[in-house]
Amino acid sequence: MDDRTLKLFHLSDIHFGLEDRRALAWVEECIAREKPDAVAITGDLTMRARHGEFDAACAWIRALDVPVTVEIGNHDIPYFNLFERFFQPYRRFHAIEDLIEAELDLPRLAIIPLKTTTRAQWQRFPWSNGWVTQGALDETLAAIDAQPAGTRILVAAHHPLTERRERDNKLLTINGTKTMAALAGRGIDAILSGHIHDPFDMTVTTSGGPLRMIGAGTLSHRLRSTPPSFNEIVIEGDEIRVNARNLEDVATTDMLIKEVPENALPPRAPGDPVAPVGAVPAIDPPVS
Ligand SMILES: [Fe+2]
Ligand SMILES: [Fe+2]
């Protein structure tokens, strides 16, 4: 049995087109030097799914010399070309097709994708938030059930699964509550996600049991309340440790937000969740 310690890098929301080059160069160097066992990228590779942004994203990811899995974010589906959005939503990913929603099998650990991004949502517009369809959930649960007993399981998705914000009743991810309960019932170790642009590591109670949710920050200039960062996840024996690494040397405890906000925009209203570091940009980041 292989009991060695595993180290993963969990990256998210690089948003090529508005990427932070300094942060990316640093991450690249960390990956080359430390050779993590795998890199999980939880979506929003681009800003507007433009061809040039995809070319840059694919070239960057291809150059990483470690196993990689990539989830699709709401920014990665063609925005201006509706025909392509509906019929060939993943066409622009062709250079990294084999990495998209790839399941990674490491020694006694599996990273299993869960799709939360959809082409259209009849319930609402815009379509930026998450939606777990029954088909997507079934696929993920089947992949979990196929793992040999004793395998640690991390599920990777773009959107956090929180369904509703109690404070203002806003819908975050459709079918999120049901999905969280199903994943907790399977006893997964954690679900990794992005979309929020601030990191978090929290355990929530669901009807299926406790569920650990780990979110990675952004490596773009679209900052919410923390500097650009990625998560180092160390799996050692029964323990999974998260370190929100960043160039500003902010301690992980100060990087982590305690509540999942409704979107990645900087907190502007009183009571909006913000990390203790509170590095909120003076003006909202551009969204186009
Ligand atoms: Fe994002
Ligand atoms: Fe997103």
Collect all residues with Cβ–Cβ distance below 8 Å to 287 and sequence separation of at least 6.
222
Give the pLDDT band of residue 288 (cuts 50, 70, 90): very low
**CA–centroid distance, residue 213 to ligand 1 (Å):** 17
Q: What is the pLDDT of residues 79-135, one digit of tens each?
A: 556 666 556 666 677 778 889 889 999 999 999 999 998 755 544 444 578 889 999
Q: For a pLDDT cut of 70, what percent of the chain falls above it? A: 90
CA–CA dist 72, 139 (Å, integer) = 16
pLDDT per position as a tens digit, 183-204: 999 999 999 999 999 999 999 9
pLDDT at 56: 95
Domain ranges within the chain, ordered by starting residue: 6-255
Give whole-number Cα distances, 206 to 111, 170, 180, in Å.
Answer: 21, 19, 7
Q: Looking at the whole model, is its pTM more than 0.85?
A: yes
Mean pLDDT over all residues of the chain? 90
Q: How far is the CA of 61 from the centre of ligand 2 (A)?
A: 18
* pLDDT higher than 70, residue 249: yes
The per-residue pLDDT for 129 is 81
Which CATH superfamily groups domain 6-255? Metallo-dependent phosphatases (3.60.21.10)
Q: Ligand 2 centroid to 143 CA: how many Å?
A: 24
Question: What does the pLDDT look like over 145-154, one tens digit per residue?
Answer: 999 999 999 9
- Spacing, Cα 113 to ligand 2 middle (Å): 16
